Amino acid sequence: MRRKRLGQALVDRKRISPEVLEGIIKEQSAPGSPVGLLGEILLERGLVPRDELVAALEEVTLFRFLDPRFATVEKAVLALVPHEAAVR
């Protein structure tokens, strides 16, 4: 079974129209067009509120969103992550 994509999830949730999704996809595929992530484009254009985007991303990725600004991580766990990876 093929998993649903972000754009389709947002259309199904009636957060964007199929025409908006199709328009963004066409823009992104045009030669010389700057490539961007769908979610970032939708947020930048004010087409989808952040919480709705997060809910759709959780649906398609099957992972719960955790805002790292509010996460507490034990020092012992942090010591396991290489410095370069943590900075990235």
Provide φ and ψ at 20, rounded to 5°.
-65, -45
Q: How far apart are CA 23 and CA 59, in angstroms?
A: 23
Check: pTM over 0.85? Answer yes or no. no
Q: What are 25-80's pLDDT values in tens digits?
A: 999 888 888 788 999 999 999 999 999 999 999 999 999 998 888 888 888 988 99
Reading the block at residue 86, the tokens are: 């943590």
pLDDT at 36: 87
